[in-house]
């Protein structure tokens, strides 16, 4: 049988980076099929004969209930196969380093060091083994750790014969570019509720996310030779800066945490004649989320008042909503996650709000309640990403416990065992 560490390292070496410039197609990169086909083959090898990958690179498989557990609800386990385009995921070279404190040298030849003062979470793992890269790529624990945890848990369950209800498995493409659920077959998946295994620190599960929108601001200026520009030039770049100055300066990602929302100017480009700005707007509270969008609209109106109608073109598109709005009515599903973590050795599980979103957001609003379980990973999307070996192993225990007969009967069905 596989172990979760070797399984994860094997997956991490497969290049599956998604492409934000190709989101008109799913998957955005054909290379994601390379991992999808591996996962289908592995599932078939340990007994999931119905496993398959569809034309959009969604992998599905179903495990029937063990005898006597057919009355239990079907539970889904979901993770995504792509890695972030923020840093290359090609030619990943995982390594396992034993940590006894202090800085971690990832690549001595290139002088790449993960410094303890910059990454205080390292202190939590003194005496443990960390899976890292050589510092030239990201690791891909987001979310190949989740993929490895799910398949390791299911393989162990099938080998042991431990009682469980129906288990539905899915691995998605393009989560990192916001298209992870566009072609997800909720009805065909067949679960009554599910868990994305796509979180971070192994003690923390999640059922609250941002409400999210993106905004594209186009600024129409007027270009003329600077030598004859008096009272005539309208510099679109300067007007764009003027618009940004109308937004709260301390409500940016750098200045916010926890439940605090923000405006994030992610891209600005152009010239005197025309410029564009790309924002993301985030807030955990729907009322504040709507207020943020309205504030940006009013800023655009003010610029038009100052510089003339048509100076600003503004397009705001909602992306996803806080899944707690739905999960408030399914807190039994949330409690099942917490109890599974406790049974796995996590004495005091925490549930910080996600300062982002997950595939579970979209699926929850499509009728599939879907909190987020941890993988144990840290420092996602960059060269200093790592996952502790011990956290991976705990993640497998959590996945097994969340589908176990005894716990599901007690928490979901309210039965006394």
pLDDT tens, 138-160? 999 999 999 999 999 999 999 99
pLDDT tens, 39-66? 999 999 999 999 999 999 999 999 999 9
pLDDT tens, 216-274? 999 999 999 999 999 999 999 999 999 999 999 999 999 999 999 999 999 999 999 99
SS3 289: helix
Tokens for 312, please give them.
């600003």
Phi, psi of 81 (to 5 degrees): -95, -25
SS3 358: coil
The answer to whether the beta carbons of residues 199 and 338 sit under 8 Å apart is: no
Residue 173 per-residue DSSP state: S
SS3 157: helix
In this prediction the pTM is 0.90
- The count of C-alpha atoms lying within 13 angstroms of the C-alpha of 37, restricted to the half-sphere facing its C-beta, is 8
CA distance 200 to 108: 27
CA distance 282 to 385: 24
| Fold category of 211-320 in CATH | Alpha-Beta Plaits (3.30.70)
User: In this predicted structure, what is the pLDDT of residue 358?
Assistant: 83
Tracing tokens 């923000």 back to the chain, one arrives at: 262
Tokens for 189, please give them.
């998946």
Residue 65 per-residue DSSP state: P
Q: Is 352 left (phi over 0), alpha (psi -120 to 50) or beta?
A: beta
List active site positions: 82, 175
The answer to whether the beta carbons of residues 194 and 370 sit under 8 Å apart is: yes
SS3 363: helix
SS3 43: helix
Residue 414's pLDDT band (boundaries 50, 70, 90)? confident
The answer to whether the beta carbons of residues 158 and 42 sit under 8 Å apart is: no
The answer to whether the beta carbons of residues 85 and 177 sit under 8 Å apart is: yes
Neighbours of 112 (CB within 10 A): 16
| Fold category of 4-208+323-411 in CATH | Aminopeptidase (3.40.630)
CA distance 285 to 214: 16
The residue extents of the domains of the chain are 4-208+323-411, 211-320
The answer to whether the beta carbons of residues 400 and 394 sit under 8 Å apart is: no
372-373 vs 274-283, strand pairing mode: unpaired
Residue 416's pLDDT band (boundaries 50, 70, 90)? low
The answer to whether the beta carbons of residues 358 and 77 sit under 8 Å apart is: no
Rounded to a whole number of angstroms, the CA Rg of the chain reads 24
pLDDT tens, 273-326? 999 999 999 999 999 999 999 999 999 999 999 999 999 999 999 989 999 999
CA distance 219 to 230: 20
- The count of C-alpha atoms lying within 13 angstroms of the C-alpha of 93, restricted to the half-sphere facing its C-beta, is 5
């Amino acid at each position: 049988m596989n172990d979760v560490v070797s399984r994860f390292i094997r997956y991490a070496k497969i290049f599956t980076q998604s492409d934000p410039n190709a989101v008109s197609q799913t998957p955005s990169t054909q290379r994601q099929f390379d991992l999808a086909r591996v996962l289908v083959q592995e599932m078939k090898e340990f007994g999931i004969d119905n496993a398959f990958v569809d034309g959009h690179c969604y992998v599905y498989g179903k495990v029937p209930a063990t005898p006597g557990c057919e009355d239990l609800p079907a539970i889904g386990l979901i993770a995504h196969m792509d890695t972030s385009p923020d840093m290359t995921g090609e030619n990943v070279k995982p390594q396992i380093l034993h940590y006894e404190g202090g800085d971690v040298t990832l690549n001595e030849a290139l002088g790449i060091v993960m410094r303890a003062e910059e990454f205080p979470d390292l202190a939590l793992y003194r005496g443990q083994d960390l899976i890292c890269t050589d510092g030239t790529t990201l690791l891909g624990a987001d979310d190949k750790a989740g993929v490895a945890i799910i398949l390791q848990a299911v393989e162990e369950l099938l080998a042991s014969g431990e009682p469980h209800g129906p288990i539905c498995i899915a691995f998605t493409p393009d989560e990192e570019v916001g298209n992870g659920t566009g072609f997800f077959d909720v009805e065909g998946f067949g679960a009554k509720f599910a868990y994305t295994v796509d979180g971070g620190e192994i003690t923390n599960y999640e059922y609250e996310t941002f409400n999210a929108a993106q905004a594209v601001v186009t600024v129409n200026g007027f270009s003329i030779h600077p030598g004859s520009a008096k009272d005539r030039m309208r510099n679109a770049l300067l007007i764009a800066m003027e618009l940004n100055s109308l937004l709260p300066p301390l409500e940016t990602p750098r200045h916010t945490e926890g439940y605090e929302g923000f405006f994030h100017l992610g891209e600005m480009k152009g010239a005197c004649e025309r410029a564009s700005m790309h924002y993301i707007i985030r807030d955990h509270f729907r009322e504040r989320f709507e207020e943020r969008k309205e504030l940006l609209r009013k800023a655009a109106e003010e610029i038009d008042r100052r510089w003339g109608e048509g100076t600003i073109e503004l397009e705001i598109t909602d992306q996803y909503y806080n899944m707690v709005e739905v999960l408030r009515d399914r807190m039994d599903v949330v409690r099942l996650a917490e109890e599974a973590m406790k049974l796995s050795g996590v004495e005091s599980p925490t549930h910080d709000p996600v300062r982002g979103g997950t595939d579970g957001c979209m699926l929850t609003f499509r009728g599939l309640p879907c909190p987020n379980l941890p993988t144990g990973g840290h420092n996602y999307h960059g060269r200093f990403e790592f996952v502790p070996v011990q956290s991976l192993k705990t993640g497998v225990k959590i996945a097994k416990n969340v589908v176990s007969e005894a716990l599901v009967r007690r928490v979901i069905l309210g039965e006394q065992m």
